[in-house]
Structure 1
Amino acid sequence: MIIALSGTPGTGKTSTAKLLNDCNIINMNKLIKEHKLYTGVDHKRDTLIADQKEIQKQISHEMRNINRGDSNNTTVIEGHLSHKLENIDAVIVLRCHPSVLKKRLDKRGYSKPKIQENIDAEAIDIILSEAAQVCEQVYEINTTGNTVQQTQEQVEEIIKNIQENKQMPVKYFPGTINWIEEVNSSR
């Protein structure tokens, strides 16, 4: 089973993925940088321009290596573009209140325009909407007041429910988190 752990930068994807048990983890951002899976740099937005076709090829290669050498059949691909990959069984989108996200991104040293772009994307559910267009099983977790361990436990609960074909708690259903009123107040 392949799970995409996605979300706006600063929602806790990397920190959470590091703690996940009984899963193979692929860090997409690390993969993009290590294998130069980008077509250039967007200086205005201070980001790499990811090459989705090359990323998909590299992920497929990584998955073949994992499937050959590991009996664990759950792989989590972590990154804010992971929900755009092909052959994903489920997407877990980490969410964070825009005011908290703004503080987290500021601590990372993001520029004001980059912070605004990300909190706007979070407020209007960009990643959740994109994920719902390409995958049938999409879930969301509000990480705003969580410790990393609490988010880890919630991600593992979702994975376990998927593996065991159990009913998913309503709190993880898409649409339960709504930051839209934050768009104007964050400016």
Structure 2
Amino acid sequence: MVFSREERRWQIGALIQCFIALAISFFVMGIHKERTDIRKKPAASFSEKYLAISSKSKQELVELMNREDIIIGVSTISISLISNTRQITFFKSENSGLKNAWEKYMASRTKIPSVFTNDYYQNTRITEIINGNFECRLTKDTAIGKLYPAEKFAPYVCSISVPPAFDESGDFLGYINFFLKGPITDSEKARIAKEAVIVSQNIYHRDIQG
């Protein structure tokens, strides 16, 4: 059965609302666990289509980071809406503080973070990303800020989904984070968003569709 674009949007919207409702219910009952134990979760179940990017895609992301002075780091996040989990699949930064903070987190983590939790602000951010928006927020208010102190070095983060909009493909594999060293102007946001869409499209067509 082939669903229209609007039907797919409605389906994923309903799925998101279910996750949010479940997260709130677990929290109220006192049994909500924000993270899944990494040692008990088989890697194959994290995502229906895992967002692992090629060396060419990594190069494109690094080149974009190097072109834009305000960007000091990039990462890709693979999302599974079925298991409600997220995983970092690529990270790059030449900023020693940001890089060290990320490496310490990766070396010490024992659990995989959830996508939707009882955090309404974070849930709306993910929803905006899924809907194809180039979403920019204070790092401390995102899931990143709750996992490691990235905001000390990159106070802002912008994100774009992969693919760059929930379109006819029906896919949402995850998103790209761009770590910013300061507030972004409207002109910078418009320019970087345009470049981010191109990179996201390339990642999807090259690494996922093949």
| TM-score band, normalised by shorter chain | under 0.3
Q: Which has the higher contact order (CA 8 A, sep 6+)?
A: 1
Q: TM-score, normalised by structure 1?
A: 0.25
